[in-house]
Amino acid sequence: ASRKGLLFGLSGVMAFGLTLPATRLAVASLDPVFVGLGRAAVAAFPAALLLFLTRQRLPTRDQWKRLGIVVLGVIIGFPISIGWAMQRVDASHGGVVLGLLPLATACAAFLRAGETPSRRFWLCSLAGSATVSPTQPAKLSKPRSVIPTPPAWPSYTKTVGSPVGKCRLVER
C-alpha cells in the first residue's frame, strides 16, 4: 500500500513538473487568463464526474465559504499568475519560485493557523530552499502584457489560497 502511494505521489510530482513548460508554450500564442482558467476547467470536469459517480454530499454552507477563498487562490490566482509569469521568465526560473512554495505554505500555516512544525522540519525546509534559491537569477524578458506581474505572485496566491489548518481568517 505504501509503495502504491509513493508511485501516485511521484506521478503527481512529475505531472506538476510539466506545468511551467507547458504553460510557457501555451501563453506564447494564447492569452494567459484563457490558459489559466482553461486549466481549471479541464481539471473541474473529471473532478465533478468523480464526485457525482461516488455520490458525495454537497458541501455545507460553511464549507462553501471556505471553498470560495480556496478558489480565489488555487483556481483563479495561481494559474493566471503562472500564465503571466511565464510570459516574462523562463520556466526554469519559475520552477525555482515554485520550489520555494512548500516553505511559504509552512510559513503561512505557522503565521495564520498557529501550527508549530518541529525544528527539524524548519531546518530541512530552510536547507532545501537554500539549495534552490540562488540557482536562478531573475532574468526578466520583454513583457507582452501591460499588467505588471512579479514572478513571485504564483507562490503568494497559492499560499494565501491554500486551506492551511484552521485558518483564522476563514473561520470568522
- Please give the grid coordinates belonging to residue 42: 479541464
| Higher-scoring residue by pLDDT: 101, 154 | 101
For residue range 47-102, what is the model confidence (pLDDT) as tens digits? 999 999 999 999 999 999 999 998 998 888 989 999 999 999 999 888 888 878 87
Residues in contact with 157: Cβ distance below 8 Å, sequence separation at least 6, in sequence order: 73, 74, 77, 78, 81
For residue range 9-45, list pLDDT tens digits in order. Answer: 889 888 888 889 999 999 999 999 999 999 889 989 9
Please list, in sequence order, all residues whose beta carbon lies within 8 angstroms of the beta carbon of residue 98, skipping any fewer than 6 positions away: 20, 154, 155
Cell 510557457 belongs to 24
pLDDT of 133 reads 65
Indicate the pTM of the whole model: 0.64
Joined together, the cell numbers standing for residue 98 give 515554485
pLDDT grade, residue 154 (50/70/90)? very low
Q: How many distinct helices (H) and strands (E) make up the chain? A: 10, 0
24: nearest Cα among 101, 90, 96, 100: 90
